Structures are given as structure tokens and as C-alpha cells.
Structure 1
Amino acid sequence: MTPELLALSARADEALARALPDESQPPVELHRAMRYAVLGGGKRLRPLLVYATGHAFGAPLGRLDSSAAAVEIIHAYSLVHDDLPAMDDDNIRRGRPTCHIVFGEAMAILAGDALQALAFEVLANDFMLAAEPASHLVMLRTLAGACGSHGMAGGQAFDLAAVGKVLSASELERMHVHKTGALIRASVRLGALAAGCNDARTLAALETYGHSIGLAFQIRDDLLDIEADTTQLGKTAGKDVAANKPTYPAILGIEASRSELTRLTMTALDAIEPLANATALRDLARFVAERAS
């Protein structure tokens, strides 16, 4: 990552630490599990997208902190639940034991539930956004839509139903547009809305950008699953293949997947080409396509 993105990632960590309940407050074990799930590293892609988009429209960083924290808290909750035995059944996340391994399944479920609620509380309580209630409401609706049956949860349902099946390329794309892409697109949109951008054409261009890097992120993830090891990834390598899950390399082939990754990255970059202050957004698109973990 560039120095600018690393600085924004550090800012996101600070916003998250402030937003989370102190682990000395009861219920102590629940708060410990919540902080463990959120503060244990990660790329912070989603908050970075909030900051980068908001910056492109001149928003002060303080106006973007709550949206950045909210999307990462939602992402962390989804990982806690995805790792559970009833879902993806994984023991490693971000290079350390998953939340349910450390705190038990019941506490991990509660931590995920509490994190989802906290994300909306953080966004709803932002006094800087409250001065514009109509826009604030649209932001809350945007986050909610990214989480539900037409967003991330729906994508996970598609994923569970697809295990052991052969999907078409369009069916695979539909799954990941929901599971991975919905929150990524919401992150971009939240950054724009927080900055006061309400131009329909600009928001449509940002939607294209978010859609493209969301799918690019998943293709890169699928390629890394077969090309990298567990230490490099910070999670179990080869798990998708072992679980007989449909992936881009399995359906398109490795070389075609790489070509599609390049095409999506160029589409994302083209979409934001008219924006004057989009350096960070361009850097993030390239990071998504080239990341090694």
C-alpha cells in the first residue's frame, strides 16, 4: 500500500478502537470477543474505500470516520459468522485462531450479533451527519441494504447452496456481487454521500467502480487460494478447493480468471477517470488486483 493508504488504515484502526466497547465493561467476555474480532489486523479495504471516496469530493476525514468504522465492523461480524462450523468452518483468520475457537461458538455468535448492531449505532450517532437528516437516512439505508438478503447475507445463502454444484459464470458472479461486492459498493457510496455527493451520474460511475473492484477482489482471492500458502494468506489455503466450492479458476480457468481480473481493474479505473482527486481510489483498485494476501 502507498503511505497515504497506510495512514488512512491506521486512522481506521483508531476509529474502530474508539467505537468498540471497552473490554473491562460487562459483559466482559462478549466485549473481549468483539474487540478480538475487529482489531486483529486485516487489510481495512472497506474503510479505505470510504476515506478515499470521501476525499475525492473534499470531505474532511472526521466526517468519514463513522462510516469507515461501521463498514469494517459489519465486515468483521460477517467473518466471525462465516468462520463458524455451520458455515465455512475455519480455524484461522488473519493469521490467528478464529473467534469461535478462542471464545466458543455461542459467544462468537453473540459477538457477531452485537457487532452488527454496533455498526448501525456508530453510524446513527454521528453528530456531523445528523445535521443533514435526509442524507443520513440514505446512508443508514445503504448500509442496511448491503447486509441483508439482497446483499451480504443473500450472497452467503447463494454460497451455501452452491457447494458441490457446477455454476455458470453468471451464477458465480451473482453470488459474489452479493456476498463480497455489496459491502464494497456500499463503502464507496457511503464515502460519496458523507461528502455531500448526490449527482446521479457520478454515483453511477462510483457504482461501476465498486462493482468492478468487488468482483476483482473475489477473483484475486480465488487465485490466491490456490497459489499462496496459509502463512501468506493468514487463513487456510486451498480450503475452497477442498470444500468443492465454485470459484473463478474452477469455472473460467486460471488464465481466463487473470484476464477477467485485468479487465475489471481497467473498468474500475475508467469509471473514476473524470474525478480530479481520485488518486487513492486508483491506488486501491490496483492494490485489490495485485495484493499478495
Structure 2
Amino acid sequence: MDGFSDLRFFALLMKEGSLAAAAQQMGLTAPAVSRRLALLEKRLGVRLLHRTTRRMRPTPEGETYLLEGARVLAELDALERTVSGARSTPRGLLRIAATLGFGRLLLAPALSAFARRYPEVELQLHLTDRPVNLVEQGFDAVVRFGELPDSRLTARKLMDNERVLCAAPAYLDAAGEPRTPADLLRHRCIVLREADETYGTWHLRQGDRQETVKVASPLSTNDGGAALAWALDGQGILLRSLWNVEDALHSGLLRPVLPTWKLPPADIYLVHPTRSELSAKTRALSEFLCEWFAR
């Protein structure tokens, strides 16, 4: 096997997480994949993986081979796109990651329309509440909320995303209406756990005033749909993106809480690696989604 083929093989092996899963993707048997890994390690003269019956993890040499190999493969792909003319025609596999709620409710319909416009693009949408490393996990693009943390990535804003506090009228009628952020401490609050970040700490601003409250959360979840269902059922006060609760607010099923106080925004971006020669499929996706959400 040539070096590029070996790099792609090892990247696939690490992405799938097991010999059996990689074998299924490649249409081979697990022993065949194991033999290929052994040949690769013999050719390089180093061990690339620590393996047990339950898991495998890369050695330091394996991590270097994986990360530097990803850069080499990206440069090769860019070269081949330039030579073959793929730069001008969106086609091939396009892997996208997004959060569960936004991905189901807003992104999936947009991607359905994108698929009709670009039938030569094969879409894979991965929805998760876990943090995603775009480069290491092999995604072409990720939809994320908030500021861009990595200067090696490029982001295009898809839509503004205001966050609001809200609750069912039945809950507010029974528990009373909070007048200040400190009043939240005596209320039941519904907390959404996202990306393993510290949760239940709410930051509010009114003009030059800023207050931080650690709320009581007898109900918490990692799923926005469940959190919204609890709020609608009168279980407490919810902090949620406006796109997710706007209909309920307009219909009166939920009422705003502390409407004169602002919460930190979490604008929504499409993020992709920064490359001088962006693939036609990723460029088409970026342009399409910006147009879609602008409407």
C-alpha cells in the first residue's frame, strides 16, 4: 500500500473506533483490517495503537501520524480538486455536525432543500450534544453557537440567536413573577446541560448592571425538547434560545420572565477549516445556508 492509502486507512480506523467498525466500512473482515494495521506498523517501525479487548487508543507516534496525516491528506485533496476541476462542481460526501435541537428543527429542513439543489452531494448529518472537534473527527462543517474558539477555523454567521427566560403562565401565577435576577434563587428553574459546560449559572445584564445567578435546578436535561416540554408543563423557569420558544411565546403558552434583562447571545455559525482552496461542496453549503437562514 502507498503512504496516502495508509494515512486514509489509519484515519478511518481512528474515526470508527474499532477494527470491526472499520472493517464494516471498508467491506473487509476484522482479521484483514488487523493484518493491514500490522503491516503498516511494520513498515513504519513503530507501534501506532494500544489495543485491549474493549478499546484502542493511539500511541504518541500514532497521534502524530493521525494529526499530521490529516494535514497531508487535506493538502492532497486540495491539489486533486484543483487539478480535476472539482473546485467548481459540488459533489461527493459532505459530513456536517450540529446540536440535537437545532439540527432536528431548523437545519434538517434546510439540508433537505440543499440536497435537492445539489443531487451529486452525499450528505451525512451528525447530531450530538457533545463537543465536536471538526478537524480530528473529519467533518467538513459544524454548526455551533457562540464565538469561534479556534483561529484555524473560518465561521459564517447563519443567524442571530437571542436567549430569553420564560415560563408557563400557570407556574408564574402560582409562584409569582420574578422582579430581579436575585428573585430567581427562590424559583424552580429548568436547566439545559450542554457540551459538559458549567450549567445552572445564568448571566444577566441591564444597561451597565450585570448579575450572575446560580439557580436551583430540580429538573435538568441535555435535550432542549425535553426542557421545553417541562416548561410548557409548568415545571419552572427556562433559559432557551428564542428560535426554540418563539412560537410558544407568541401563542401565550409561555410568558417572558425578566424581559428587561438581557442574556449573553449565542449567535449561530457555520464553521469549517480555513483553507485557501475550499471544496465546492463546502462552499455551496455555506452560501446556501446563509441564504436560507437570511429568509
TM-score, L = length of structure 1: 0.23
Name the one with the larger helix percent.
1
Q: What is the TM-score with the length of structure 2 in the denominator?
A: 0.23
Larger radius of gyration: 2
Greater per-residue strand proportion:
2
